[in-house]
DNA sequence: GTCTATACCATGATAGAC
DNA sequence: GTCTATCATGGTATAGAC
């Protein structure tokens, strides 16, 4: 892996676990094992690293969504893939929150220009979830259902990390799966 | 108002709008209109200010909950007071997120000792909401309903600020009120 | 209680040797 | 491409005059 990629990867993790503002060049350089001077050969400013990290996350999100498309044939199964992140990444979410939500929240406070780009990741999930609900026959309702799932996940991530309660995240994931089943069941239309 | 109170008030606002890590002594001193030197007469470290800000927020939350108890006689009306924060503070939430959620999230990332104290504000809301649901007859379910409302509000705050969409916050508040009505209606028990 | 002055250090950033 | 050395800035914190 190129040094540049190593830097972006390390910065990605540190921005998630420590926050953008609180992560210094020295932190990233130390994590990669290079000097601060070398660092500036690859990135001239902290904002450039942030842009690269966001681009990396956008790509990773696209790849994950594409993987879910392949793994699961039916839209309901794909939506369950989304819900399961809360469990699969439960440990990290309980410790550091949702990477997308916490970064956009931080950039919003900093008034940072990249906030819009970071928010694009939410749009990626939103559009993908909406497409799945549309495929399930929820035409006009689809975007609202996508936002509902996004909102519930974000709420779960915030409270899960506030109370440092991974079991709560599992319960919320179960509850969301039950909600989805009820939505799909013809005998129970809410 | 004492200088100390002015400092805590200014720090409270700045921690909310800029984040804790990104707010400097100079910022707070400048907002109050005192010198940095004078600052240290009142608070020796940044953590001391944080503690004072959290204590102030805990007190403000207690006072708000007590006010809601007085203003509204029935528990359902009190719960609607909680939901309405999303609308009443919509502008600030769309810009800076929820003050409680964003602070606990930041402190969690910093590994800050005060994270537990900041999380206490969530516990305050949780216990108060649970008491209202208990008064409505939801005995065993009460805590789960309280957490549901907290989670929905936090999710709404995160997405509302990510998309900078105050109208979305209003819709979420309406949706939560409708959810509450459905919960209370004897013809529709979920 | 309020101010000025200042020490000290971390950080963002640059220049230039290898 | 990587390093060391260096600078400027700003932030935390202290001492001491008024």
Mean pLDDT of A55-70: 98
What is the spatial distance, in angstroms and rounded to an integer, between the CA atom of B110 and the C1' atom of C1? Answer: 34
A106-120: pLDDT as tens digits: 999 999 999 999 999
Nearest to B147 among A97, A105, A159 (CB): A159
pLDDT score at B187: 65
State how far the Cα of A61 lies from the Cα of A65, in Å rounded to an integer.
6
Helix axes B99-110, B3-18, angle to 10 degrees: 80
pTM, 2 dp: 0.96
Cα-Cα-Cα-Cα dihedral sign, residues A175, A99, A93, B166: negative
Mean pLDDT of A46-68: 97
Q: Does residue A186 have a pLDDT over 80?
A: no
Chain C positions with any atom < 7 A from a protein CB: 1-6, 10-16
The rounded average pLDDT for each run of 10 residues, N- to C-terminus, in chain B (190 residues) is 93 97 94 90 94 97 97 95 98 98 98 96 98 97 98 98 98 98 76
A98-109: pLDDT as tens digits: 999 999 999 999
Please state which CATH number belongs to domain A57-184: 1.10.357.10
CATH topology of domain A1-44: Arc Repressor Mutant, subunit A (1.10.10)
Output the CA–CA distances (angstroms, integers) from residue A149 to A38, A128, A144, B121, in the order listed.
43, 12, 9, 25
Q: Containing H/E element for B25? A: helix B25-32
Q: Which two tokens stand for residue B153?
A: 């509000």
Q: Does residue A189 have a pLDDT over 50?
A: no
pLDDT score at A1: 87
Q: SS3 string of chain A?
A: CCHHHHHHHHHHHHHHHHCCCCCCHHHHHHHHCCCHHHHHHHCCCHHHHHHHHHHHHHHHHHHHHHHHHHHCCCHHHHHHHHHHHHHHCHHHHHHHCCHHHHHHHHHHHHCCCCHHHHHHHHHHHHHHHHHHHHHCCCCCCHHHHHHHHHHHHHHHHHHHHHCCCHHHHHHHHHHHHHHHHHHHCCCCCC
Q: What are the boundaries of each domain within chain A?
A: 1-44, 57-184
The closest alpha carbon to B130, from B65, B73, B40, B190, belongs to B65
Contacts with B161 from chain A: Cβ below 8 Å = 104-105, 108
Mean pLDDT of A1-9: 94
pLDDT score at A93: 98
State how far the Cα of A163 lies from the Cα of A94, in Å rounded to an integer.
8
pLDDT score at B73: 86
Q: Does residue A188 have a pLDDT over 90?
A: no
Q: Does residue A73 have a pLDDT over 90?
A: no
Contacts with A154 from chain B: Cβ below 8 Å = 154-155, 158-159
Residue nearest to nucleotide D2 (CA to C1'): A38
Mean pLDDT of A8-19: 97
What is the spatial distance, in angstroms and rounded to an integer, between the CA atom of A103 and the C1' atom of D6? Answer: 33
- Band (pLDDT 50/70/90 cuts) for residue A187 is low
pLDDT score at B189: 46
Nearest to B119 among A104, A154, A163 (CB): A163
Question: With 0-12 CB in 10 A as exposed, 13-18 as middle and 19+ as buried, what is A1?
Answer: exposed
Answer whether any strand C atom is within 7 A of the Cβ of A40: yes
What is the spatial distance, in angstroms and rounded to an integer, between the CA atom of A111 and the C1' atom of C7? Answer: 33
pLDDT score at B65: 98
CA A141 to chain centre: 23
Three-state secondary structure call for residue B113: coil
Q: Which of residues 15-44 of B touch strand C (CB under 7 A)?
A: 34-38, 40-42
């Amino acid at each position: 892996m190129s040094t540049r990629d190593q830097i972006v990867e390390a910065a990605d993790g540190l921005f998630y676990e420590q926050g953008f503002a609180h992560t210094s060049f020295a932190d990233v350089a130390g994590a990669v094992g290079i000097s601060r001077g070398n660092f500036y050969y690859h990135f001239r400013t902290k904002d450039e690293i942030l842009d690269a990290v966001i681009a990396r996350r956008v790509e990773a999100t696209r790849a994950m969504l594409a993987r879910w498309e392949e793994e699961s044939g039916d839209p309901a199964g794909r939506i369950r893939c989304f819900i399961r992140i809360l469990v699969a990444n439960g440990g990290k979410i309980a410790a550091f929150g949702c990477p997308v939500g916490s970064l956009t929240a931080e950039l919003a406070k900093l008034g940072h220009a990249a906030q819009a780009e970071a928010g694009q990741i939410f749009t990626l999930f939103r559009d993908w979830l909406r497409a799945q609900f549309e495929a399930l026959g929820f035409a006009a309702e689809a975007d609202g259902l996508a936002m509902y799932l996004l909102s519930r996940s974000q709420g779960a991530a915030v409270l899960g990390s506030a109370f440092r309660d991974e079991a709560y995240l599992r319960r919320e994931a179960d509850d969301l799966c039950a909600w989805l089943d009820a939505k799909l069941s013809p005998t129970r239309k809410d």
